[in-house]
Chains A and B, each alone.
Chain A
């Protein structure tokens, strides 16, 4: 009842949820061109994820797992489905998710271990894997209703069925750590805690924290996804797209949103995307984005490239951007190896390399 009254007042006054405000890229998130100007390491047909064991870089590319040999990517494994997540294990093995429906370990002392469900529910969209210690895996499943490739359907359908699951490598058991997340996409063990990206809520939460300390970083101006460890004790947080007021508005206009999903090709929805600018039918190609044919870098982005560096407490301390006038958009993974940061710009199907201390 109180929520209803508060909601009504906020609707009247244009406050809170009804203000349709989005955060600005400021402070450590101030835009730059570092991601756009980064060196292109490789263009791949269908890259999905990156992983490293501290010595070698691995990339999931369609049905394959590739390894960087210093000059080119060579195929290490091939599977019968799309590799949707990848993780290096401390014992030398690899954990992979295939089609978002199976999690399998290859190599190492737990080779052959496989999971297809947890807490009585089959996997549908496993999108990130992270190792915790030597005998546990943490995985996120974005949605239990939409397959991996339909992430945008989950957003526009206002899905909240994401899960964080712990897999025990020794016993082959599984445990659901968190459910009903608004798209879980990326997780990492942070001390005794586990951080998970709740993408549609634009935040990272610590699932084993007290209620007060639960939110690690929130009110992000982008959709956060996978995380990896940085050498200074902090973390790298990828963001698959930037937020816009138009999308936020559409998300609140339920009738419009439902009709759009029913009648319009998903490629042309007013929704975040991993890339943009390739098709004139796309929304947001009007005067607000272009001026005399030139893209305004500060215009509302349909797609965006962003990697955020978090300190050990989760505070953003630096960021790397590819703005609207750039191409390296749709960043879904970033890993640090040596003194370099490797970034997967899925929107451009490209792997980038840059200096860790670039900013």
Chain B
């Protein structure tokens, strides 16, 4: 099959540090090509070069045999290369339809025409998105749909998907895979970056593995299995699954630290009652929209419960009600968000500054003068402790890879020495190496006697980490499983039926 795109000895450096180096890569016309690798391996940067977001420092890129060097995404789009980014790049104040037509506006735009065309287009893709809805009001899955629709709409020859399924439900993922099939049938070439190796194995024709900025391996998918990919990715032998084996020793419940009684918030949380105990990991599972995140956001002051008959929250037997997160932080509740880009850090601030801000939140009102030196020390300590891989701690958070960003967000909470730690999707968009490290950290926290909550949509993760599992459905806990009795089938049955 003819190559549609080639990279020859391509190198991209940031401040002298290579993101990837001497990479020779080829993309065959009409194939689905998966690129896998740990965070920081250079996958995103490699594809950003193709999409015109960044340019090469050395080497060359050929499209249909012609050398190209797109300097802007618009230039790349005109060449037929579109990218759906890992973190969504929609304008939150615009409607889904306006986002779909962004950059392709005519001199005179009729909203009605845009809405009708958008509706037709979404329907042709079988995406259930209301075109007149403001994007900020859409859920993560629907935002992703708009992103994908936008790329498809540009009639690109090559579409690059960076972690497209991270925020999709299992049903939406299946739908997405069907869409990939349609695109492939139309001759579109697809690059697919994912940390979910099963997905890469399921839908791709070829797989390329990157490690530490170097291309390690490219081969047909049929020649790969999970173990081979993982070994190539990390250069070491991890356990059979990225989430580790099912644990057999379960920690007993300690004292009751957090208790939620009949919590209510609109239609999302409905008379939810649960307890969180010290010294164990409580896994929270449920489908998207089950009210898991909302329940714990209320407990940590990010959201507010109903004013009347909204229920009670007790922290160490004392009733608490937080209207904002600050008092919750001071009381020792650390909520580590699922949406790190929006809620987790200030992307233009350095790692040290972000982590130091976490400390200042805990010391609110007690620290009149902030210290640059202290910020550096705190940043360096936590970067070392959590193995945040970066040139130095002055690097802006936005420049880190997904896994390292996640570690920085975790450090920002752990610096507060919290009494209870709530991880919401702790390994979403994180590579296997970082997953292992984050899981190890979660276990260490529980072993230290802290109550740890892990909210996850990924069942193997819940199963491998949890000493106790609570299943959410329709805004409340519908089932509790002890570690011994939990099986994937039982949990999924409770979550659905």
A residues touching B (Cβ–Cβ < 8 Å)? 12-16, 19, 21, 23-24, 26-28, 30, 215, 218-219, 315-317
Q: Among the listed stretches B77-85, B97-105, B306-314, B410-418, which one makes contact with chain A, having 4 or more residues with CB under 8 Å of it? A: B306-314
Asked if A15 and B273 make an inter-chain contact with CB atoms under 8 angstroms apart, the answer reads: no
Identify the closest chain B residue to A316 (Cβ).
Answer: B253
Contact with A along B299-334 (1 / 0, CB 8 A): 000000001111110000101000000000000000
Is A26 in contact with B274, judged by CB distance below 8 angstroms? Answer: yes
Given A19-B262, A219-B259, A27-B311 contact (CB < 8 Å): no
Instruction: Decide if B48 is an interface residue (CB 8 Å cutoff).
Output: no
Contact status B256-A27, CB under 8 Å:
yes
Contacting residues, chain A, for B470 (C-beta < 8 A):
26
Q: Within 8 Å CB of B254, what residues of A?
A: 315
Cross-chain contact A14 with B309 (CB below 8 angstroms): yes
Asked whether any CB of chain A lies closer than 8 Å to the CB of B261, the reply is: yes
CB neighbours (8 Å) of B311 from chain A are 19, 21
Do residues A317 and B309 form an inter-chain contact, with CB atoms below 8 A?
no
Q: Which residues of B contact A215 (CB under 8 A)?
A: 317
A23 touches B261 (CB 8 A): yes
Shortest A12–chain B CB gap in Å is 8
Residue from B256, B307, B308, B477 whose CB has the most chain A CB atoms within 10 Å: B256
A21 adjacent to B273 (CB under 8 Å): yes
Question: Which residues of chain A have C-beta atoms less than 8 A from B262's C-beta?
Answer: 19, 21
CB atoms of A26 and B275 under 8 A apart: yes
With A13-B307, A19-B261, A23-B261 in contact, is A28–B312 under 8 Å at CB?
Answer: no
Q: How far is the CA of A215 from the CA of B316 in the complex (A)?
A: 13
Residue of A whose beta carbon sits closest to that of B272: A24
**Residues of B232-281 contacting chain A, CB below 8 A:** 252-256, 259, 261-262, 273-275, 277
Complex: chain B residue closest to A218, CB-CB: B317
Q: Please, which residues of chain A bring their CB within 8 A of the CB of B255?
A: 315
Nearest chain B residue, comparing its CB with the CB of A30: B480
Q: Which residues of B contact A13 (CB under 8 A)?
A: 307-310
Which of B253, B312, B468, B482 contacts A15 (CB under 8 A)? B312
Within 8 A of A (CB), among B195-221: none
Q: Quick one: given A30-B482, A317-B252, A317-B253, are A24 and B308 in contact (CB under 8 Å)?
A: no
- Interchain nearest-CB distance for B469 vs A (Å): 11
A-B contacts, 8 of them at CB < 8 A, read A13-B309, A13-B310, A19-B262, A24-B275, A27-B275, A27-B468, A219-B317, A315-B254
Chain B residues near A317 (CB-CB < 8 A)? 252-253
Cβ of A21 and Cβ of B480 under 8 Å apart? Answer: no
Shortest C-beta distance, A68 to chain B (Å), equals 32
**From A14, A27, A30, A315, contact of B308 by CB (8 A):** A14
Starting from the known contacts A16-B312, A19-B261, 4 additional A-B residue pairs (CB-CB under 8 Å) come to: A13-B309, A21-B311, A24-B275, A315-B255
Measured between beta carbons, the chain A residues less than 8 angstroms from B482 are: 30
Q: Are A21 and B261 in contact (CB under 8 A)?
A: yes
Interface set, chain B 319-351, CB cutoff 8 A to A: 319
Point out the residues of chain B lying under 8 angstroms from A15, CB to CB.
309-310, 312
B418 to chain A, nearest CB (A): 20
Give A315's nearest chain B residue, CB to CB: B255
**Alpha-carbon gap, A78 to B17, bound state (A):** 91
B residues in contact with A316, CB < 8 Å: 253
Instruction: Report the separation of the CA atoms of residues A28 and B280 in the bound assembly, to the nearest whole angstrom.
Output: 12
Chain B nearest CB, measured from A146 CB (Å): 31
Are B253 and A23 neighbours in the complex by a CB distance under 8 Å?
A: no
Contacts of A16 on B, CB cut-off 8 Å? 312, 319
CA distance A316 to B254 in the complex (A): 9
Complex Cα spacing A30 to B275, Å: 11
Are B274 and A24 closer than 8 Å at their CB atoms? yes
Residue of A nearest to B274 (CB): A26
Contact partners of A14 in chain B: CB under 8 A: 308-310
Q: Which residue of B lies closest to A24 (CB)?
A: B273
A19 to B468 alpha-carbon distance, docked (Å): 28
Contact B273 A19 (CB under 8 A): no
Residue of A nearest to B254 (CB): A315
Known: A16-B312, A21-B261, A21-B311. A28 touches B253 (CB 8 A): yes
Distance between A27 CB and nearest chain B CB, rounded to angstroms: 4
Smallest distance from the beta carbon of B264 to chain A beta carbons, Å?
10
A85 to B273, CA, bound (A): 37
CB neighbours (8 Å) of A219 from chain B are 259, 317
Complex CA distance for A25 and B415, rounded to whole angstroms: 34
Taking the closest CB of chain A, its distance from the CB of B324, in whole angstroms, is 20
Chain B hits for A27, CB < 8 A: 253, 256, 275, 277, 468
- C-alpha spacing A26/B482, complex, angstroms: 10
- Measured CA separation A26–B309 after assembly (Å): 22
| Smallest CB separation, A243 vs chain B (Å) | 13
How far in angstroms is the closest Cβ of chain A from B371? 37
- Write the chain A residue with the least CB distance to B263: A21
Closest chain A CB from B285 CB (angstroms): 15
CA distance A12 to B256 in the complex (A): 29
Bound state CA distance, A317 and B253, in angstroms? 7
A21 to B482, CA, bound (A): 24
**Distance of A14 Cα from B275 Cα, bound (Å):** 21
Complex-state Cα separation, A314 to B309, whole angstroms: 31
Q: Give every chain B residue within 8 A of A21 (Cβ-Cβ).
A: 261-262, 273, 311-312
By a CB distance below 8 angstroms, the chain B residues around A315 are 253-255
Within the assembled complex, what's the spacing in Å between the Cα atoms of A27 and B250?
Answer: 13
A39 and B186 alpha carbons, distance in the complex (Å): 69
Nearest CB in chain A: distance from B276 CB, A: 9
**Contacts of B277 on A, CB cut-off 8 Å?**
27
A166 to chain B minimum Cβ distance, whole angstroms, is 29
Give B261's nearest chain A residue, CB to CB.
A21
| Chain A residue at minimal CB-CB distance from B481 | A30
Residues in B with CB closer than 8 Å to A28 are 252-253
Task: Point out the residues of chain A lying under 8 angstroms from B477, CB to CB.
Answer: 24, 26
Output the residue of A13, A19, A27 with the most chain B CB within 10 A. Answer: A27
Chain B residues with Cβ below 8 Å from A24 are 273-275, 477
| A230 nearest CB across to chain B (Å) | 15
Residues from chain B with Cβ under 8 Å of A23 in the complex: 259, 261, 273
Closest A residue to B276 using CB positions: A27
CB of A249 to closest CB in B, whole Å: 13
Question: For B468, what are the chain A residues with a Cβ–Cβ distance below 8 Å?
Answer: 27
User: How far is A79 from B321 in the complex, measured between Cα atoms in Å?
Assistant: 57
Bound-complex Cα distance A24 to B312 (A) = 13
In the bound complex, residues from chain B placing their C-beta under 8 Å from that of A12 are: 308
